[in-house]
Amino acid sequence: MQAFDLYAVLPELVLLLATCVLLVASVFVREKVKSVPGVEQDIFHTPRGVGFVYFFSLILLAYLFLAFIGRLSDVSLVAMNGLFQSDSLSNLLKACSCGAVFVSLIYSKQYLSDRALFRPDFIVLILLALLGQFVLISGANLLTLYLGLELMALPMYALVAMRHSSEKSVEAGIKYFILGALASGFLLYGMSMLYGVTGSLDLIEIFKTVADPRVNHLVMAFGLVFIVAGLAFKLGVVPFHMWVPDVYQGAPTAVTLMIAAAPKLAAFALLFRLLVNTLLPLMGDWQPMLVLLAILSLVVGNVTAIAQTNVKRMLAYSAIAQMGFVLLGMLSVFDDHAFSASMFYAITYVLTTLGTFGLLMVLSRKGYDCETLEGLKGLNKKHPWFAFIGLVMMFSLAGIPPTVGFAAKLGVLEALVDAEHTFLAIIAVIASLIGAFYYLRVVKVMYFDEPAHEHSVSGSGFAKGVLSLNAILVLAIGMVPATLMSICLDAMRRTLLGS
């Protein structure tokens, strides 16, 4: 191992070692538990070492975030004998993933504690899933990409089914596992066909071989179909979306947030690494498939969401439609502005998703989950600030100015028009107008309906402060999007030049 190899994978090594230490240390760390007279303490509500693991994890995530931010201007390099690449795109996406997990843990603490799920193993599984995202984002080899994907997915299967007393949670975990395994099989079979034709697992070597006109194009096309199908499963786009609503609804809200936020950044990286960095010479084959997936996702996701009364299920169909926009940004090949617009969309969608699910957890309490429209009725009369946060998040998801969702949608639409995909831009606008209906319905319920029950707010003051800052960022970046857009564009240009 050379010095630059160690430098490239140092954050991943730190995360891996720290996670293993936290898992072992949680067994030996004893914490003070306040005893209530006449109330028997439940060991599952106060597991050993959970506070230590929680606060140490936050410090670890903050360190990793700053470390990746400091690497944004580094030169692109391929390390570990071509298995791992460190470039501006990977460092930016990893920093955003760390920030998303950091905020998710803050939002989730009280929610998990009220449901006896705030345990060290929950946090350790989250960190292991984050490690998988790191490996996936920096994969420079088909083997690395697949290992990162599985390392990210396996802890998620366990997290979804962690509330074993709930039939919905267990059912969601089983569905997620079975369909996730099927998607992994599709992706692995497609990769094996690529390997059979090119004789290499290295992305750069595959790119060079695929560009050779003597390659068996029919086998490559079959392999590409399986790869795109596997990617579509992982992204949760139509017609491979059947797991998304059930998993979003069945999993605890804290776990739903972990699935809905940071993994979307890793999925974007996987899409970029495979289709742009590796299979760009086959764009005439995969472009039509992405167009079909994007249109179906925009239409089916937005139309089906209208009929939902469960907010988490509605947000699941919303996520399907939002991923359609991300796919649209990948259609303008040879255009770093389009790719950066797609990455900007993914990052800002994660920011909005954090605030949306954070609000649901703050409005939940012990014995009650705020998951339906009924639970949001009349929120403005009791908690006007949290109703305003909900309004900001819904406006951002709908793409209404001055929120960041408007800037993100506008960037993708501009890229489509510049690439002369005007018809797709029109479909995206119409689908957004349909989606605005169910987003504004949530605002109407919060502001104009009478309260269905007594609203209460849980969570620490710190969590409420972070939620407020989240809403302010959604507004601030929406009004001044140039800074983040330029960071995304610079990272994309550096990555494309480095490759």
pLDDT tens string, the chain, 499 residues long: the values are 577 678 888 999 999 999 999 888 877 776 555 544 444 444 444 566 788 889 999 999 999 999 999 998 888 888 888 889 888 999 999 999 999 999 999 999 988 888 888 888 899 999 999 999 999 999 989 999 999 999 999 999 999 988 887 888 888 889 899 988 888 898 999 999 889 888 888 888 888 888 777 777 788 888 889 998 888 888 888 888 888 899 998 888 999 999 998 889 998 999 899 888 888 888 888 888 999 999 999 999 999 999 888 899 999 999 999 999 999 888 866 667 888 889 999 999 999 999 999 999 998 888 788 888 888 888 888 889 999 999 999 999 999 999 999 999 999 999 888 888 889 999 999 999 999 999 999 999 999 988 877 767 777 788 899 999 999 999 999 999 999 999 999 988 888 876 5
Q: In the prediction, which pLDDT does 113 show?
A: 87
Total residue length of the chain: 499
Contact 65, 99 (CB under 8 A): yes
Contact 183, 123 (CB under 8 A): no
Q: CA-CA distance, 314 to 245, in Å (whole number)?
A: 8
Q: Count, in order, helices (H) and strands (E) of the chain.
A: 20, 2
3-state helix, strand, coil in the chain (%, to 5): 75, 5, 20
Peptide bond into 11 cis (omega under 30): no
Contact 463, 109 (CB under 8 A): yes
Q: In the prediction, which pLDDT does 499 show?
A: 55
Separation in Å, CA 454 to CA 107, 182, 360, 382, 443: 22, 44, 15, 8, 18
Task: Give this prediction's pTM.
Answer: 0.91
Task: Pull the structure tokens for residue 232.
Answer: 């579509």
Q: In the prediction, which pLDDT does 451 show?
A: 80
Contact 373, 445 (CB under 8 A): yes
